[in-house]
Structure 1
């Protein structure tokens, strides 16, 4: 019985299976929350362009890569190989580091803009919350991907 459960953990889903398996079910929430970070940061005036440019890069890069990753997994292009399981873990681990650094930068910029326009300040607070929520989603996905990779 243990071999059967390890076999199901040690395979990569394809098609609609990505909407029902443990690590891959996080693709859609990652896209939604990451897209919200992208939209909220883009809707404000970029006063210090360098840190907010990094936040925009991270949100757009991770949105596009997660979408492509979801398409690759949905189409079954991975052929359930261990290399793709490792790449899945590496990508989501990198996304965690990127989003964590972007969230810290955005929180710092939000603290600095506290005395400015109240509307922009509130939008930035929302973006910070969604950035850290997205970081958490990518972290959970990375941990579950590492477990799946270990069972290959």
Structure 2
């Protein structure tokens, strides 16, 4: 397993190997969080602003990261493996903090007067925690790959 994990894939191989197979679900669930939070009334501004920043930042960076790997710019070096581990670790930490903030804001919503926002925020919380889990799994698998170089 170590010999297959040590190689950084490029091209279409990123769609067939772990942890790179997680790029697409990370984009999908991160995009859903972005869309759902953008659809709600942003109250209070600060936690919801952090959630929007995290979802947009991670969506754009994950897309760029996926393109870098797909184009083969990384040249199969241990530096890129370390950078992959560091980026996904930061993204996992960011998403965890955003998920907790979003869950707190959602718990504080008055469910009787604002049912639409409550349902959208509940969905955003669920998708945010799924994105957090995906980024943590990607971080763990990237650490294994980095250490096998």
1:131 is aligned, of 125, 128, 144, to 128
What are the ranges of 5 or more consecutive residues in structure 1 without an aligned counterpart? none
Please give the alpha-carbon distance, in whole angstroms, between the structure 1 residues aligned to 2:98 and 2:7: 32
Please give the alpha-carbon distance, in whole angstroms, between the structure 2 residues aligned to 1:128 and 1:36: 10
Shift in Å at residue 114 of structure 1? 3.2
Give the match's secondary structure for 1:71.
Answer: helix
- For residues 11-56 of structure 1, the C-alpha deviation after alignment (integer angstroms, 9 at most, x for no partner) is 1000000000110000000000000000000001101111100000
The reply on whether 1:144 has 2:146 as its aligned counterpart is: no
Runs of 4+ residues deviating >3 angstroms: none
* Alignment correspondent of 1:106: 102
Q: Paired residues, what number?
A: 148
RMSD: 0.8
- TM-score, with structure 2 as normaliser: 0.97
- TM-score, with structure 1 as normaliser: 0.95
* Alignment correspondent of 2:63: 67
Please give the alpha-carbon distance, in whole angstroms, between the structure 2 residues aligned to 1:31 and 1:7: 28
What are the ranges of 5 or more consecutive residues in structure 2 without an aligned counterpart? none
2:119 is aligned, of 105, 122, 127, to 122
* Alignment correspondent of 1:13: 9
Give the match's secondary structure for 2:126.
Answer: helix
Please give the alpha-carbon distance, in whole angstroms, between the structure 2 residues aligned to 1:69 and 1:49: 29
* Alignment correspondent of 1:26: 22
Please give the alpha-carbon distance, in whole angstroms, between the structure 1 residues aligned to 2:81 and 2:34: 27
